[in-house]
Structure 1
């Protein structure tokens, strides 16, 4: 089973749209232990510096971007399950994306879709997929085949 307390999300910018905020809050209630840290929108270099100050050496860094690996929900659940509860930090960039050096610093890259999403929607999608992965590994009814 996936232990959500081993995961955190670092996200650039604040959620401004009420409906996205409500969706995120709904899934966060279902994922006690998941940490979400917001970083002020700034230059890519300053954002990278802030992110590197937050992450620990024992964490796996996963950046979200359009060139990352694309998984089905089941494949993502399996990848997370096979991480053997290592500490994983997902990073979602702001409007200007993440710096190339931070992307290359990451252990792996994740794409939620070949489409590009606003950072607020990407955050909602990631949190929903983490919830889905948890229910898949628990055999729960949330994920339909």
Structure 2
């Protein structure tokens, strides 16, 4: 089973759209223990420095970008299940993305789609997929795939 307390989302920028805030809160209630850290959107160098300060040496960095690896929901659930003892930090860039240095230092890069999404929607999609992965590994009814 996936342990949600092993995951943290670091997100550049704030959620401004109410409907996205509501969606995120709905899934966060279903995922107690999931921590989200918002960092201010400044310049990529300052964002990079802040991200590196948050992530410890023994923690796994996963960046989200359209060039990352694509998974089905079941494949993502399996990948997360197979990394059961790792503390995983998912990093979502702001409007201008993440610095190449952050992407290059990631253990792996995740693509939610070949399409490009605003960072707010990417955050909602990631949280929904974490909930779905947890449900898949528990044999719950949420995932019908």
User: Under a length normalisation based on structure 1, what TM-score does the superposition of the two structures give?
Assistant: 0.99
Secondary structure in 2 aligned to 1:14? coil
Q: Residues 84-95 of structure 1 correspond to what in structure 2 (within 5 A)? A: 84-95=84-95
Q: Which runs of 5+ in 2 are unaligned?
A: none
RMSD: 0.5
Distance of 2:109 and 2:143 partners within structure 1? 24
- Which 5+ residue runs of structure 1 have no aligned equivalent? none
Matched residues, number:
145
Shift of 1:58: 1.1
Residue number in structure 1 paired with 2:96: 96
* DSSP-derived class of the 2:120 partner: helix
The corresponding residue for 1:28 is 28
Whole-angstrom CA distance in 2 between matches of 1:58 and 1:31: 23
Which SS does the other structure have where 1:22 is aligned?
helix
The equivalent of 1:55 in structure 2 is 55
- What aligned pairs does 1:8-23 form with structure 2 within 5 A after superposition? 8-23=8-23
Q: After TM superposition, give the deviation of residue 73 of structure 1 in Å.
A: 0.1
Q: Deviations 1:78-132 (Å, cap 9, x if unpaired)? A: 0000002310000000000000011001100000000000000000000000000
